[in-house]
Amino acid sequence: MKKRDPDLLLFHAPLLRQGMTTPRAMRDVIYALLPATGAALWFFGLSAVLVIGSCIVGAVLAEVTFAKRETRGESLRDATAVLTGLLLGLTLPPGLPMWMAFLGGFVAISLGKVIWGGLGHNLFNPALLGRAFLLATFPIAMTTWAPAAGGFFDVPASNLALPFMQAQVDGVTSATPLGMMKFEQEVTPLANLVFGRTGGSLGETSGLLLLLGGIYLWLRRDLDWRIPVSIVLTVVIFSAALTLVDGERFPSPLFSLFSGGLMLGAIYMATDPVTSPVTPKGAWIFGIGVGVLVILIRVFGGLPEGVMYAILLMNAATPLIDRYTQPRVFGRGVDST
Amino acid sequence: MRPLRLFRRSFEHGVHPAHHKSQTEDLEIQRVPFGKDYVMPLGQHIGVPSRPVVAEGEAVRRGQLIAEPGGFVSTALHSPVTGTIREIGNMRGVDGRFAPAIAIEADAFATQRVKPDPAMDWESLSLEEFIEAVQMAGIVGMGGAAFPSHVKLSVPDGTRIRHLLVNGAECEPYLTNDHRLMLERPEALLEGAEIVRRKLGAEETIIGVEANKPDAIEIISEHIRPGQPVRVVPLKVKYPQGAEKMMIKSVFGKEVPAGQLPRDVEVNVNNVGTIVAIADYFLRGMPLIERVVTVAGPGVTYPANLIVPLGTPVRDVVRFCGGLKGGTREIIMGGPMMGRPIASLDVPVLKGCSGVLVFTEEQTARRKEYPCIRCGRCLEACPYFLNPSRFARLARARMFDEMKAHHVFDCVECGCCTFACPSNIPIVQLIRTAKDDLTHRKEPEA
């Protein structure tokens, strides 16, 4: 019995892991977005593919370009570049020129993530940063809403516009429900909002499918349920209060909930773990803050939609929120930060 | 959010690792045959090392005192075998460092039968005599920490113990030694608990058992004599249910204040193995010279629950279990969540060794580490409500003093954070490094 002893490693306990990994969590979010992406294809046809595809290509290219040479391509495996591109694409108007979408994706990753130090270090949600960049740079294209396509292959000419050439805006532009509410006091029927038969960004039109994906993520424990729940509750309560004050002027709670990017933002963007508070109490504060800002911007601000800025502003407040919401340590008094 | 107490009593947070207990939970405890070489490290308990009272070359009986306590927080050692003292000196210990130990060579022709001391009249002992007897019996916490039991039982004047809590949670995956002990020796467990309860003047004994051991709960309940103030409390299956402060929270709903001990909430907690050891000493005269060890894990040929004489090399234990399978890469002493890896098969089984777990390439495969994405899973896992992600970040930046300010010493290193981390960050390992640095660094001369 003279067998060689095995070469023993000295990994320190715990040796067991729960099995969820960061790339898997990121891929879960992509899977959760597939129904809404499918709806975008259904409503907007090929132009959805072109816009979203351009965003993803831009994001991936930025990730590869700015990686260290030795590890180039490795960071793609955590799927965050694709996810950022997809999320950005879903927030864009369907008729957006492809080159703008590409640029948005590139900026989202380079200025939204890489420059901060890569995954886990950025302060702002990269996809929303990319969108804010596009909105600031191309305000007209970003607020021109092409109507839903007639057939799958009907691509608006603006999609194919060459870089820096002024694209001909299509004759008919359809307004978003929020735009109609704000500028024409016209209310879109709720059923259209829920199922997505409205104008708007690619991914924000179907509240129902977005909710479905959110439930999947919640079941997989990939998202902090406190954030979407607190955003939704705040929006509902705040807008209900406003409706009580003046039902004519202010939108109803359900309208606020299902119009615009609220669902997309509340479920998929505000819950980005990197840019939202890590503490449970902080998540509540963050969600309430987003909800209040959304309504304030929508109702009293100059813009019809406020989800993007609401989330970006609360992103900026996240380190502060975390600092003051550390949990009470077991066996200690309340003020143990 | 306070979770509803739907089914079983529990603490908050924690994690749910797969149990992996089916490998050994139905296997009766067997005795490992005696071998040749035994090593008893003098510092195998927490505290001051013991002082040898034998000389090299001296013949010793099994159960004979070979080292006396080196102080109050120290305990006695007894020879696990009949044989001769081969050497007293520095030998390689479990952590790989050389440390003083007594090496004993077993007499191949000895019967190894203990001539036990007669049972003690424990009822007439004063509390001080009782505590000294526990110390001289070499009894330590058998759950893994190996903290001298007599220290735990010494309650300062003015403190009252109302409840004796017997810890049969065995929340570590793979381990079944406490489970088998409860199944096979419920009388000894109840006898020992009665001795401790009476000596401490506690009103009641509560035996906390995780609900995945219904047979143990049933057998112990059957053996409780009518009128005996003992309750068996099923606890939710959740790690770390067996951490004493968590168990107190589960059973009594009370938090032991940070920096204080269970006695400060009128509770005394002891592992089932410790309680049985106390019964064996006071009723049968057997000092602590052997213990139950679970040998399991994917790399061991025949998993088993074994009575192993202390000081037995892991090599002999593993050989008795049919040897190691190919692909063995790691051996853990204790449980997979909090145990310690051993570097060599020659290290001895100690008083605090509840398991010898053999893992293969699959469990030790290198896990790619990703950046922290601040998902908060570690915060939701930490039973002490600390912020492990912040500790990991601070530890990497070597900001240890900052960690101290954030109560890093409240961490019991249960490993829930590392278990829960999707980015495979070795959080608890980083915390250990930081605590080690904080405890051992030399203060600059003033």
Tens of pLDDT, residues B163-178: 999 999 999 999 999 9
Round the average pLDDT of chain B to a whole number and report it.
92
CB < 8 Å from A in window 173-192 of B: 173
Tens of pLDDT, residues B134-164: 999 999 999 888 999 999 999 888 889 999 9
Q: Does B10 touch chain A (CB under 8 A)?
A: no
pLDDT band per the 50, 70, 90 thresholds, residue B1: very low
- pLDDT value at residue A257: 84
- pLDDT value at residue B7: 52
How far apart are the C-alpha atoms of B23 and B295, rounded to whole Å? Answer: 10
CB < 8 Å from A in window 89-148 of B: none
Is the pLDDT at B93 greater than 70? The verdict is: yes
pLDDT band per the 50, 70, 90 thresholds, residue B10: confident
Is the pLDDT at B248 greater than 70? The verdict is: yes
- Percentage of chain B beyond pLDDT 90 is 83
- pLDDT value at residue B444: 63
If one counts every other C-beta atom within 10 angstroms of the C-beta of residue B117, the result is 13
CB < 8 Å from A in window 224-263 of B: 245, 249, 255-260
If one counts every other C-beta atom within 10 angstroms of the C-beta of residue A200, the result is 28
Q: Which SS3 state, helix, strand or coil, does residue A193 take?
A: helix
Taking each helix axis as running N to C, give the angle between helix B388-396 and helix B427-440, from 0 to 180 degrees, rounded to the nearest 10. Answer: 60
- pLDDT value at residue B195: 95
Of A78, A120, A329, the CB nearest to B374: A120
**Distance from chain centroid for Cα A193:** 18
Q: Which residues of B touch A278 (CB under 8 A)?
A: 374-376, 379, 387, 389
How far apart are the C-alpha atoms of B40 and B314, rounded to whole Å? Answer: 13
Is the pLDDT at A337 greater than 70? The verdict is: no
Is the pLDDT at A148 greater than 90? The verdict is: no
- Please state, in angstroms and as integers, the Cα–Cα distance from residue A35 to each residue in A210, B31, B169, B200, following that order: 7, 61, 45, 65
- Percentage of chain B beyond pLDDT 70 is 97
Lowest mean pLDDT among A10-14, A31-35, B65-69: A10-14
Contact B367 A278 (CB under 8 A): no
Contact A279 B379 (CB under 8 A): yes
- pLDDT value at residue A167: 53
CB A46 within 8 A of CB A92: no
- pLDDT value at residue A171: 44
- pLDDT value at residue A184: 66
Query: Which structure tokens are listed for B287?
Result: 């000092």
Is the pLDDT at A50 greater than 50? The verdict is: yes
Tens of pLDDT, residues B302-343: 999 999 999 999 999 999 999 998 889 999 999 999 999 998
Counting every residue written for chain A, the total comes to 337
Contact B375 A278 (CB under 8 A): yes
B268 forms beta bridges with B164
Lowest mean pLDDT among A244-258, B17-31, B229-243, B245-259: A244-258
Is the pLDDT at A192 greater than 80? The verdict is: no
Round the average pLDDT of chain A to a whole number and report it.
86
Is the pLDDT at A28 greater than 80? The verdict is: yes
CB B373 within 8 A of CB A273: yes
Mean pLDDT, range A108-127, rounded to an integer = 94
- pLDDT value at residue A168: 53
Output b/e per residue, A27-51; b: 16+ Cβ within 10 A: bbbbebbebbbebbbbbbbbbbbbb
pLDDT band per the 50, 70, 90 thresholds, residue A104: very high
- Amino acid B89 reads G
CB < 8 Å from B in window 276-335 of A: 276, 278-280, 283, 326-332
Q: Does A6 touch chain B (CB under 8 A)?
A: yes
Tens of pLDDT, residues B365-421: 788 899 999 999 999 999 999 999 999 999 999 999 999 999 999 999 999 999 999
- pLDDT value at residue B6: 47
CA–CA min distance B334, chain A (Å): 10
Contact B329 A6 (CB under 8 A): yes
Closest of B44, B35, B166 to residue B97, by C-alpha: B44
Of A3, A8, A119, the CB nearest to B330: A8
CB B321 within 8 A of CB B41: no
- Please state, in angstroms and as integers, the Cα–Cα distance from residue A30 to each residue in A55, A68, A82, following that order: 14, 26, 8
Would you say the C-alpha torsion B162, B172, B97, B102 has a positive or negative sign? positive
Tens of pLDDT, residues A161-187: 777 665 555 545 566 777 777 666 667
Mean pLDDT, range A195-201, rounded to an integer = 69
- pLDDT value at residue A154: 72
At the topology level, CATH places domain B123-284 in Rossmann fold (3.40.50)
Mean pLDDT, range A280-286, rounded to an integer = 95
* Nearest chain A residue to B325, by CA: A6
Q: Does A121 touch chain B (CB under 8 A)?
A: yes
**Which bin fits B41, alpha (ψ -120 to 50), beta or left (φ > 0)?**
beta
Ranges of each domain in chain B: 123-284, 377-440
CB B393 within 8 A of CB B372: yes
Is the pLDDT at A317 greater than 90? The verdict is: yes
Q: Which residues contact B132 (CB under 8 A, 6 or more apart)?
A: B150
Tens of pLDDT, residues A66-92: 888 877 777 788 889 999 999 999 999
- The predicted complex's ipTM stands at 0.87
Of B336, B374, B386, the CB nearest to A274: B374
CB A260 within 8 A of CB A251: no
Q: Which SS3 state, helix, strand or coil, does residue B166 take?
A: strand
Closest of A337, A312, A315 to residue A326, by C-alpha: A337
Query: Which structure tokens are listed for B440?
Result: 């051992």
